[in-house]
Amino acid sequence: MPGVLISFEGTEGCGKSTQITLLAERLYSLGRDVRLVREPGGTPIGEEIRHTLKHSAKNEAMTAEAELLLMNASRAQLVREVLRPALQAGEVVLCDRYYDSTTAYQGYGRGLDLKLVEAVIEFAVGRTRPDLTLLLQVPAEVSEARLASRQSTLPFIRDRIEQADRNFFERVKKGYEAIAAADRKRIKVIDAARTVDAVSADIWQAVEPLIK
């Protein structure tokens, strides 16, 4: 059976992790081998880079350019160490974020040149591109409410990227809309402000034809 690469995208708290878990369970129950990865991260080297990007006490001065390159250093490692071998072995790979996040956050959000961002992504991933991307869309208020509710149950851990202001996240959201409009064949937009079950049903409708 051929491998399948599916990426999940969206702003914080849109429900990616929740839906990836549900989809993985469904795929396992059908006997498919499933690989779950997250970005940045997903390999030992990538997880160290993730720490540097998000939580390191020494990351305050990070520039947008360094952020772009670190995201893609993590990705280059993930593609070669995990994604390509897993796809070769016929697995269904579910990525919690992939390169559309870079276009949305470092391109539209930080304002880096989009052509330059695309060139860096091309260097990191080459032809390892998703068969399907699920963009979970939620209004900013829903995203903020979900994160606040989750944070109230967890100990506080500083996250440099989450500290950006609301304008940044608005630009990211608009970026995602532009990315989806430019590639309707690959990217399926899902209204993720509904119940977990309703979102999951739409996701399955998009995924099922790919895994037969």
| Closest CB to ligand Z5A among residues 122, 162 | 162
How far apart are the C-alpha atoms of 160 and 189, rounded to whole Å?
28
Residue 93 makes contact with ligand Z5A by CB under 6 A? no
- Binding residues for ligand Z5A, rule CB under 6 A, total 25
Q: Interaction with ligand Z5A in 106-125: which residues (CB under 6 A)? A: 106
CB atoms within 10 A of CB 1: 12
Judged by CB under 6 A, which of 61, 63, 195, 209 binds ligand Z5A? 195
CA atoms within 13 A on the CB side of 192: 28
Q: Which stretch, 6-14, 25-33, 76-84, 181-189, contacts ligand Z5A (CB under 6 A)?
A: 6-14
Binder of ligand Z5A out of 4, 6, 27, 71 (CB under 6 A): 71
> In whole angstroms, how close is the CB of 202 to ligand Z5A at the nearest point?
11
Please state the closest distance from residue 101 (CB atom) to ligand Z5A, in A: 3
Site string for ligand Z5A, 18-37 (x = CB under 6 A): x-------------------
- Contacts with ligand Z5A by CB under 6 A lie at 10, 12-18, 38-40, 71, 97, 101-102, 105-106, 146, 149-150, 161-162, 195-196, 199
